[in-house]
Structures are given as C-alpha cells and as structure tokens.
C-alpha cells in the first residue's frame, strides 16, 4: 500500500498511457473470451418468429450443427415466440458444452394431441454438459386439462422439459408455463443444477408437478418459485444427494418424497436436504408418501431445515398408507423403510387442526425421526400432532409435541 502511494505521488507522463493500455487489454480480453464460443442463432437455421410455422426443424438443425463441433457452442434463441413441435435432442454427439441462451418463448402447438400423443415436448437423452438459460417454455396445457375434466377420451399428455440419462446439466433463469403434465423431469441423471427457475400453472391443473426427480444423484435446485396444480417438487425412487434450497411453493401440493412403493423392487431415496422453503396455501408442506404396498425401497437421511408454512393443510406429513380407491394394495402396509428424518426450524400456520402427521407402516415403523424447534399453529392456537408407528425424539421447543411412541 505504502509503495503504491509512493509511486503515484511521482507523476509520470506515461501513467495515463499505461492505464489506457491496461483498459484496452482487458476489454479485448473480455471480448475475445466471450466470443470463444461458437454462436448459432436459430433464425439462421430457419426458425420463424410469430408462432405460425413450426420452428422445431430449425432447432434440430442447430443442435446437429452444435454436435459436429467439439468447441463450446451457444444455440441462441432471440426474442419472439417460436412454435415448436416435440423435439428429442440426443447425446453421443461429441460436444459436451452446448448452451441454449433463450431470450424468446418456445410455444407448443395449440392442438394438444401433437404433444400429448408423444408424451414429452422438449427432451434431452444421453447428453452431457448441456445448459439452458433464460426464456419461456409455454406448453399451452389448458385445452388438455379441459379435455380431461370433461372425461372425454384424451391423451395422457406430455412433460415439458425432460432430461434422461444425462450428466452435468444446468437450467438457469427459465420459466415453464402451463405444462400438460410435469414441467421438468430429471430421470437417470447425475450432477444437475437448477437455479432461478420459475414454474407457473393454475392450482386446478392435473398432474402438473413442477420438478420431478428420479434415479438421479447430485441434483441441486435453488432460488426457484413454483406455483402449480400438483407437487412443486416430487422425488421418486433412486434419488440420492439432493440439495433443495430457497424454494417458494404454492399453490401446489408441496415438496414430496414419493410416491414410493409403486413397484416391488425399487431403489431407495437417500441424503436429501430441503432448506429455507416457503409454502403458501399448499395442500402439503414437507411430505413423505408411499403406497401401502410391499417394496424393497427406503428413505434414509433427510433434512428439512428452516421452512415457513402459510396456511398449509398438512405442513409435516409422512403417509405410508397411500392407496387411492383401496385398489391394488395387498396387505395394506408399506414395505418402505423410513429412517433418519430431521425437521428443524419449521414454523407457521396450518390450515387444518393436525399440523404434524406421521402415519407409518405397522410392518416398517418410521425410525429416527427428529423434530427440533418446530412451531405450528392452527387458528392462533397450537396445532395437533398424530403418530402411528413413529419412533423419534423432540428437541428444543416443539409445538405441537412429537407424539412419538
């Protein structure tokens, strides 16, 4: 510091020149660095703005071109609405650094059968190092939901953004609207980061889960807002090492591990952290749910840390007796083993008298449940708790009390 001021106290005629040189060097450096990626504008591949003509061939051509390169490549989607039919982006393409920068909106065809018959809209299979940032994916799901509610014969529908068997995926600052089914599916993936994702669908829209994860490891979801008709985040069998932080959920059915035990042979769920989630007017807050069916599955090592509930019907829930219409649940008990589950710093309001419900399996009681600093009220009074076959302990101030056996 002293040396520097000594130096600057002696005016030099070269000093301004040196400063300019340094500035020019850094400007040049920044420009060349940001241009070191190849930029492919979908307009140059035949994409048409305005939503009238199908731009999916242009997206396919841009992807094929990106795949021929081994350099960092950006597929750029400028402002505007682009009509896009279902696309599958396949891996094994030699480029593990392809980013989609989206300023515009991808819009699904108005005829819901075009997506609904295919089952997925934008799917990536077997890719490595793909990132998506910005933009809107508008699946136009309302017509299919209406079809379903009129009990007519309707297609099952399509999930909007699907990643299967893929590694090193980033999704950042993107909005997904009105999906026919799940908005984002992560299945068979490793190392996925979702940040600043915004998911929007009406509370009455059926099966429009925000983000569904299964058979995947190291999945991180942070700073995201999810308003939808089903689970905000659902975590299926074979999910491990998940980190979910700063999520706003509602409307929706909350953050759910499950449904599990749908199949007899199922991989377990292990090491899941959900921290700083805010639930507003949701059906559930933090839920673990399994079918009342035999299964090899388990849930081990879950931390629910720092959640706020605003008028949530079931703020804390373990339900091991899921069996809609009492069909196909032989024995009516779940094979899923649930253990080492922590609930810490969970506060707020319940929309029903029972704010904590552990409804575990008589054959496989829940073990090692810990409640620490939990305060949940119902109509300005301490709410109630209910326990079946639940073993654990309560630490700090826990209201309603733990009710453990």
Q: Which positions are catalytic?
A: 253
Query: Residues interacting with ligand NAG, by CB under 6 A?
Result: 218, 241, 243, 271
* Cα 198 from Cα 227, distance rounded (Å): 8
Minimum CB separation from ligand NAG for residue 269, in Å? Answer: 12
Length of the chain: 405
* Cα 305 from Cα 269, distance rounded (Å): 18
Minimum CB separation from ligand NAG for residue 221, in Å? Answer: 11
135 vs 268 by CB, closer to ligand NAG: 268
Beta bridge partners of 54: 83
Burial class (CB in 10 A: 0-12, 13-18, 19+), 176: buried
189 vs 354 by CB, closer to ligand NAG: 189
Minimum CB separation from ligand NAG for residue 276, in Å? Answer: 15
Check: CB of residue 166 under 8 Å from CB of residue 205. Answer: no
DSSP string, 20-59: HHHHHHHHHHHHHHHTSSEEEEGGGGT--TTSSSB-HHHH
221 vs 309 by CB, closer to ligand NAG: 221
- Coil, strand or helix at 381: strand
Check: CB of residue 388 under 8 Å from CB of residue 365. Answer: no
DSSP state of 203: T
Q: Which residue has the closest beta carbon to ligand NAG?
A: 241
Minimum CB separation from ligand NAG for residue 235, in Å? Answer: 13
243 vs 404 by CB, closer to ligand NAG: 243
Q: Phi first, then psi: what are they for 147, rounded to 5°? A: -55, -45
Q: Report the 10 Å Cβ neighbour count for 394.
A: 20
The tokens for 279 are 């639930």
65 vs 218 by CB, closer to ligand NAG: 218
Minimum CB separation from ligand NAG for residue 220, in Å? Answer: 7
User: Is the four-CA dihedral 256, 262, 263, 265 of positive or negative sign?
Assistant: positive
250 vs 301 by CB, closer to ligand NAG: 301
Minimum CB separation from ligand NAG for residue 252, in Å? Answer: 23
């Amino acid at each position: 510091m002293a040396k520097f001021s000594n130096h600057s106290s002696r005016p030099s005629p070269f000093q301004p020149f040196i400063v300019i040189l340094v500035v020019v060097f850094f400007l040049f450096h920044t420009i060349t660095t940001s241009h070191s990626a190849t930029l492919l504008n979908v307009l140059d591949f035949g994409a048409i703005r305005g939503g009238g003509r199908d731009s999916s061939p242009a997206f396919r051509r841009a992807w094929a071109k990106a795949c021929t390169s081994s350099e960092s490549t950006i597929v750029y989607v400028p402002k505007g609405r682009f009509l896009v039919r279902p696309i599958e982006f396949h891996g094994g393409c030699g480029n593990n650094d392809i980013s989609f920068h989206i300023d515009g909106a991808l819009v699904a065809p108005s005829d819901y059968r075009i997506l609904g018959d295919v089952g997925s809209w934008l799917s990536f299979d077997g890719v490595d190092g793909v990132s998506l940032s910005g933009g809107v994916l508008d699946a136009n799901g309302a017509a299919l939901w209406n079809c379903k509610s009129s009990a007519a014969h309707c297609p099952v529908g399509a999930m909007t953004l699907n990643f299967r068997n893929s590694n090193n995926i980033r999704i950042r600052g993107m909005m997904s609207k009105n999906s026919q089914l799940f908005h984002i599916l992560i299945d068979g993936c490793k190392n996925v980061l979702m940040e600043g994702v915004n998911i929007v669908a009406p509370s009455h829209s059926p099966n429009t889960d925000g983000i569904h994860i299964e058979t995947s490891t190291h999945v991180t979801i942070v700073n995201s807002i999810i308003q939808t008709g089903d689970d905000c985040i659902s975590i299926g069998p074979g999910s491990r090492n998940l980190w979910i932080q700063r999520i706003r959920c509602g409307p929706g059915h909350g953050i759910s591990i499950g449904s599990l035990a749908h199949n007899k042979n199922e991989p377990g769920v292990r090491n899941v952290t959900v921290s700083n989630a805010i639930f507003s007017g949701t059906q559930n807050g933090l839920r673990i749910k399994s079918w009342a069916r035999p299964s090899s599955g388990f849930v081990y090592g879950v931390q629910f840390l720092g959640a706020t509930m605003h008028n949530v019907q079931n703020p804390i829930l373990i339900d091991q007796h899921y069996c809609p219409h009492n069909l196909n649940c032989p024995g009516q008990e779940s094979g899923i083993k649930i253990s080492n589950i922590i609930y810490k710093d969970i506060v707020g309001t319940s929309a029903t008298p029972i704010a904590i419900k552990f409804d575990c399996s008589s054959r496989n009681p829940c073990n090692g449940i810990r409640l620490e600093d939990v305060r949940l009220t119902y109509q300005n009074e301490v709410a109630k708790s209910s326990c079946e076959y639940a073993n654990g302990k309560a630490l700090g101030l826990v209201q309603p009390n733990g009710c453990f056996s």
